[in-house]
Amino acid sequence: MSPPAAAQLARTLRPAIADERVLAAIASIPREWFVPESEVSRAYENVALPIGAGQTISQPLVVARMLEVLALAPTDRVLDVGTGSGYHAALLSLLAGHVYTVERHPDLSARAERTLTDLGIGNVTFKVGDGSEGWPEQAPFDAINVAAAIGDEPAPALEEQLADPARMVAPMGTKEQHLMLTERAGKRVSRRRLEAVQFVPLVRGPRP
């Protein structure tokens, strides 16, 4: 479960990532299991790659930064919006207690679930649906990870599902996007704009 290439990828990210737990998680997940056959040779490059259905597995550096800013505790319950390949969910599952992951493409969700089962990961629950609505039945969450760009407005449905205290990281914007870190503590909600990123858009409405 821990190929040398994944450890090498973690070393590549070390200058930019201070949290050793995040680097250890990257080193222990075989990213090649999450990409199509045609992309396996590039699986450990620090780049986004196509995963089918017009979607991508995110760039490892950006995934690592999102994991780092969420500052997860081992008991945290996490909502992951945009399962895609399941790579980000697999990393979250190593750093948190339980991950609830939502994807609008049924085939991507099914494939991701198989991959995590094959890896022996048992603390991730999958759902096909519109993740912009969150997962009200499982709320509140200690952390929310959004892997698709939410546009120019904050996501109220997601913010409502934050526990107290809790954190959410999401790419915000349309053409120009930045990671936005939202922190809730009591009645106070603060937002901090981080680095520029490039994600596929969060698509609202019924499944394709």
Question: Near ligand SAH by CB under 6 A, which window of 38-46, 53-61, 69-77, 151-159?
Answer: 53-61
Which of 2, 38, 58, 109 is catalytic? The answer is 58
Q: CA nearest 94: which of 113, 114, 121, 69?
A: 121
How far apart (Å, rounded) are the C-alpha atoms in residues 50 and 134? 25
The single residue among 102, 143, 180, 197 that binds ligand SAH, judged by CB under 6 A, is 102
Under the binding rule (CB under 6 A), the answer on residue 202 touching ligand SAH is: yes
Under the binding rule (CB under 6 A), the answer on residue 163 touching ligand SAH is: no
CA angle 139, 101, 153 (to 5 degrees): 70
* Annotation marks residue 58 as catalytic: yes
Q: What CA–CA distances, in Å, run from 32 to 54, 57, 152?
A: 19, 11, 33
Under the binding rule (CB under 6 A), the answer on residue 87 touching ligand SAH is: yes
Under the binding rule (CB under 6 A), the answer on residue 70 touching ligand SAH is: no
Rounded least distance, CB 186 to ligand SAH, Å: 29
Question: Near ligand SAH by CB under 6 A, which window of 51-59, 159-167, 170-178, 186-194?
Answer: 51-59
* Residue 176, token pair as written in the block: 């120009």
DSSP 94-115: HHSSEEEEEES-HHHHHHHHHH
Question: Near ligand SAH by CB under 6 A, which window of 12-20, 38-46, 50-58, 165-173?
Answer: 50-58
C-alpha count within 13 angstroms, C-beta hemisphere, residue 113: 14
Active-site annotation, residues: 58
